[in-house]
Amino acid sequence: MNAQLLSRLLEIAERLVPTTETMVGAGSVPDADRFIERALASRPDLGDGLEAAVLECTDQVVDAAVRGESVDLSAFDQVATLVIGAYYMNPVARRQIGYPGQLALEYDPMEYVTWVDEGLLDQVMSRGPRFREVTK
**Is the pLDDT assigned to residue 105 strictly greater than 90?**
no
Band (pLDDT 50/70/90 cuts) for residue 132 is confident
Dihedral (CA of 48, 43, 73, 19) sign: negative
**Is the pLDDT assigned to residue 36 strictly greater than 90?**
yes
Higher pLDDT, 69 or 98: 98
Band (pLDDT 50/70/90 cuts) for residue 43 is very high
Average pLDDT, the chain: 89
What are the sequence ranges of the domains in the chain?
A: 3-97
What phi-psi label fits residue 85: left (phi over 0), alpha (psi between -120 and 50 degrees) or beta? alpha
Residue 66 and residue 79 in contact, taking contact as beta carbons nearer than 8 Å: no
Which pTM does this prediction carry? Answer: 0.71
